[in-house]
Every structure is written in C-alpha cells, then in structure tokens.
Structure 1
Amino acid sequence: MPTTTGASAAPRTATDDAAGPAGAAGVPGRAAARADLAARSVRELFTGRALGVPGTLLGAPAHPRPASPGAPWHYWWQAHLLDALVDAGLRHRDDPARAREFRRDGHRLLRGITLRSGGRVTRNSYYDDMAWLLLAVGRLAGLDRALTGRADVACLDAGSALLARLEQGHTGDLGGGVFWNTRHDVKNTASSAPTALGFVRTHRPEQARAVLDWLRDVLWDPQRKVFRDGLRLVAAGSGAEVTRLDERLFSYNSGPVLGALLELADAPGTSAPDRAELLRTAADVVAGAAQEYGRELDGRPVLRTHGGGDAGLFSGILARYLAAAALHPDLPVAARRTAAGLVEGTADALWAGRREFDPAVDFSAPGGAAAAGGGPTVAIFSPDPARHADESQRPGVPVELSTQVQAWTVLEAAARLARP
C-alpha cells in the first residue's frame, strides 16, 4: 500500500488512535472502531429519506447525491446496505442503545426499499436481487429477535413474499437451478447461490441441496474450484433445448455458495456423510477463492476488487462469507486460515488507503485541510485495496455507494473475526 504524504494524506484523528496501524484488523477494539467509522461514513454521506417520506431510508447511489430524482437507485445495493446495518447492529449487541439505532435504520431502509419499489418488495424482474434482499431481511428479523425477542411483522411479510417469488424461479428447466430474471432464459450462479442460502435459512434443505447439486454438476470448475457464471437458453423446441455455457467468473459468486454449504452442513437432519461432503466442498471453495480472486499485497493476501458500479460490491460479498468460513470450527485449519487471511488483509489494505475528512468541510478538500473543521470525521474508502483513495477516488469526483458498502462489509467481517 503506497503511503501518502503532505496535504492529501488522511489527517490523524481519534479514530486512528483507536484503530491503530495497518495490520491491526485482528485486534477487537481496533477492528470495531474501523467498522464504526465505515458505518458512520456510509450513513452520513449516503443515506436519507426515500422520496422525502418520514420514517424511511434509502442509500443514494453516489456522494454527492445526484440532482435528478429519477437517478438509478439500485435495489440490490440497498439489500447489501441493509446487511451491513444488521452486521453493525449485531456487533453492538452489548450496547443495546447503539444496536437499536442500527435496527431502527434497518427497518427504515426496508420501508424505503418497499416504497421505492412501488409498494411491494417483489416488484422486481431479477431473482438474484430478490434473493439478496431475502437474506438481508431474514437477518434483520434475527436482529429483531436478539433485541426484542420477536421478529417485526414487516420483515416476516417481506420475507414470505420474496421467498414465494424465488420459488417461482426455481424450476426443472435446464436441469435445475434458479432463473436470473423473469424472462426465464438464463440460469446462473448469481441467482442460484443466494437462493440456495435463502432456502437453507427458511428450513427448505431439500430445495437448497437441489440447487447446490445443480451448481456443482453444471457450473462448477473442479480445476479452478470456482463457479462459472451461468447457462443461457439459446433455443428450444421439439422437446430439445440448446444452451450455451457462460464461462465468465465473478468473485462474489463463491460467497453465497460457501455460506449455503456451511449452513446446510450445520442444518438439523443433515447426515454425517453429507455434512463431511459439504464441508469438503466448502474448503475447496475457499481454496478456489484464494487462487482466482486473491493476490498478494505487501506480503499479505488480499481480495482483488473489480472497480465500481455493481462490481464495486463483489469482494465485500465474498469477504462476508469467507469470515463465516474462518469461524467454522469444523473446516480444516488451512481453509480457516486462508479465509481469515484474505478478510483481514483486505480490511487492513482498505483501512490504510482511506481518506478521512470532516463532513462539515467540502469533501473535495484535501485531507489535511479538512481536518481544520475539528468535528467527527468520516472516510472515503478506495475501490481498490492496492491504491490509496487519493489516487483511485480523487477528491471532488462522485463516490459510488457500492464501493463504500463493500468497504464497510469487509471491515465488519474483520471485526467479526476479531471478537473474543
């Protein structure tokens, strides 16, 4: 990670004192302080009322916010923003007041997504989008239970509606799997993997196993230990289907498959031989992620990132599930260490490359000048862990929500690993 000097370097703040130098992602207090800064930054710079309606929240696609009210709002980015809010709420369970703040924002965001979707969370043409929101809503319901003893009815209703839609996309066409969108012409890992995990979490192990079996049989590359993108229906007729395999690789696809394997292995009723097989496959997925999507930076493993737009979320999603692998007691030690190393290395690199500033001062100001405001700081994180934000996300250029939620997600994953 290059070190910046002079006016563009991030000013030293109390956050730095709490978070320590790069390489401290595994220290509980420091890792939590980093995640808190990311949470504060995203909430302050990006979130606001949905369509101006009180009691709602939505993440703006960029900071500064686009002037046009018709700017894209990206349903699936909001789902991952909701997941990050839940991460922070669960991390603060020992501080109920802070945890309730994140829970409140999570419910406001769910209302905002519903409002922006025209009153129904299922008003969406993409099954993968709805699968991500199902996972986030289910986790929000879990936060409800942790804090209040019961799930909010809005979560339960949204989850039921989303699950029903996903079951419509899970068909026997093309041998199984889940369609990508309502045109029903592509089945891919992007939709099948989070849906499989959603099936596990909603106590549908047979459906989850069927989707995972299809992914393994059709899209798994056993040499590289990664999942190819998908299978496209080119033509159909006279009882025959002509398909084309899409060989592209996307790092985030390994994440929810890994989560589904681990959670299905731990599900009640999974036999010992099946559990062993699922855990072996999970270890392979970790190895493939390290080989295909990892790199070395300053002698440490980090995840490659993929720029902005939708791809600005990819490595954050993978990091979330690598953290789950690192914490799973029955995975081989080597797989757990590999997973933890990728999460912690990426978190350290993103932290070292942040640009911190006082939001009361124009965010286009150089870091040193922004410190003059003297208030609590926020940060812009680089979309690329190998480059400082001053270089990759130059002051004054709009910053995309996706890349900042990605950084927040990685830092939450590292904080989860650092908890005693």
Structure 2
Amino acid sequence: MPRRHVSLIAVALVASTSAVGSSQPAAAAADLCAGAPRAPYVDVPDAHTHADAIDCLHGLAVIRGRLVDAFEPATSLRRDQMATIIAGSIEAAGGRLPAPDRGAFPDVSSGPHRDAIERLAAAGIVEGRADGSYAPGAHVPRGQMTAFLVRAHDHVLGPSDEPAPSAFEDTAGHPHEATIDRAAQLGLASGKTATRFAPQELTLRGQTATFVARLLHRSADAGVMTAPRWGFTSSVHRISASLERQITGSSWHAGRDCPPFTDLRLLEIVHRGFDGRDRVGLLVLHRDAVADVRVALTRSYEAGFHIERMRLVDRYGADDDRSMAANNSSAFNCRTVSGSTRWSEHAYGRAIDINPVQNPYVAGSTVEPEAGRAYLDRSNVRRGMLVRGDATVTAFKDRGWGWGGDWSSIKDYMHLSSTGR
C-alpha cells in the first residue's frame, strides 16, 4: 500500500562592481548579515545576487516576501511598500520615528502601510506630490529611491556638510540629482555602470534589500545599531489572506472536511540544513499542535539535527510523492486515505514528516520515496536519520507524540503525529 495512504492505518545590485561607492559598504553589510538564516523564499536561491541582503532583512523583520515563501526580487516596489521598508529599517538601525501625522495625505486613510507613511511624513522623510497626495500605489524610480534612503540615513545618523560630487553623467538636472550624488557618496546606492545611474528605471525588490542592508551597515559601523545575534528563532502566525489564497485548491480544499483556516497556524522556524547553514522553514499546523512541534524542533535544533528542506507542500502541488522525493519535511495536507473517506493525520495538521529520503516508508518490498532504499539499514545512522532514542524522536515522544518507526507491520520512519497514527 502506498505510504501516502497509511497514516490512519498507523549585496550587490544590477550594478557593476566598479560602480561608485559600492566596495566598502558591500563588505561591511556582509559582516553585519553574516550568519543570518536563509530566508524561506523559493525564488531566492543561495547564489542569488541579493540573497544575503534579503536573508538579513527578513531576519530583522524589515522586509517580507510577496508570499510567505516567495520574495519576487525582480518585482518593482510601490511608494507605500517602500515607506514600510524604510520605516522598518530606521527602527532596525536604532533610530526612532515620531507619532503618525494623521491626515498627512488625503489618499492615505487606511491599509497596512498607513502608519509607516504617516510616521515618515511626521519625520519629514517622505513628501507628497504637488497636489498634496502621496500616491501610495505609484512605483518608485531609482532616483526617487535615493531620497528615501538619504533622508532615512540622515534621520538616524545626522546630515553631513560634506559636499557630494557629481557621480553620474545621466543625472544632471534630475529632480533627485542631489540625493543620487549623496547616496553614491555614502555608498548606499551604486550605478548601473560607473557613469550611468538610470534614475528613471524602477527600483526592484531585490535591489532594495541590498540598498537597505547598506544603510544598516553604516548604522552598525557608527555604533548606533547593535549587530544582530543570529541563531535559532521561531514564530507563529495566523493564516493570512494571501496564504489562504495560496493553499486553497492545493493543500486545502473548499467543500471537504478540512480544518477551518482559523484553526490553522503558520510556524516559521529555523532549522539546520544539510549544508550546515541555518535556514528558515515553514510548516502549516493545527493550532493545537503548534506548541508541541515548536518545542520538539527547538530541542532537535539544539541537539544538532539536520533537516534538508522544510517548505510548504503546496510547492509540490500538495503531491505527497513529489514532496517526499524532494526530501521535503512538511505537515498539513488535507487529503484522505485513498479509496476511503477517512482522513490522514496530516489533514488535521497534527502530523509532520521529517527528511523522507533518510526516513522512508517501508512495507515489505515497498519503499517510498525510492531514494530511501539507501537508508534501509537503520543501524548505520547518518545525517538526517530518525532513530529510536535520538534527540528528535525523544523530543516528540516527550510531548506525547508517536513515531512511525515504532510501528510493527510497517515502518514510517519520517512520520510523527500527535495521535501516533
């Protein structure tokens, strides 16, 4: 019988490296961000140009993806989104913002970015347009972006009387020429080439992460910002509207007996990858199971256990076979036992599978995933394996959970659940 049906049976920019002011800030930013856990974004691979900055700002809660697991680094930023990032960066850098200037802009009366926009307005960091509006949905050109950066820098570290030399040939007469030159002088933003800034091009999300990381490193170098102490963290979140949309029709289905979204939670938790790097994993769980999993995985991390991948099963089309083949550790997936109306424990969000390749499902000659055959000798304990008495299995058992490795007629070494099934 297939394993999936058994659970109820048992900072650089797009700029050249020679661009003005880019070398020293990039190195310092790398020092500030060194050790930040890899953010959970599937579209930001380890080798991505802006990966280190994105990881750093995600860890500092300065910036978030468009989805919980997708950053969309090539997407342009709106003025309201930029305001939230700049406000967050000021506070992360050790600065403070005044109370919101309510009513500063007639077109900003509600929404998730209102508070940031109005606090920046009170601080004189953002300005409206000629008609007094803010235009929150307008996208931010690179020239305008430097005004956000330089004003944020001066708010935290104070302005400078040192004149900024003209840095680029294509910014003469531009409305933001002065802040472009100052941003280059400070090393906050560099050009597309040594002589071209392209002020009218839109600012992209990935580039913005690198710009802001440079702002934070200057604050750290000045002693205003305390360098973060990276390591294990975890947090629990309600299911957001965007996550509801993302998993509906995938791991969650309308019309089925799936738990309501109000009963589900998103656990964001750091785990140690197979490469030794800390990585942020994502698990959707029932709210009653979150505390158990959080405590158990905390103990597992502290014991040095390695988990290769921890993504939402929706990244594999909610297909258990595909998720297992990718060695993905996952939890919630609202599905029934094949040919039955009975539900998997994963359907309730009260089960988790860990490292399926190293911990396969075994029933007679059936092994799932197929790559798990290399791990049938359970006495030869290797990285990522769950075995009786180890720290991870013990941590879950101490919370009252059962382990599929204890089953008699079959073995489901990856599977841990609150009911033991």
TM-score by length of 1: 0.23
- Largest Rg, 1 or 2: 2
Q: Which has the higher helix share?
A: 1
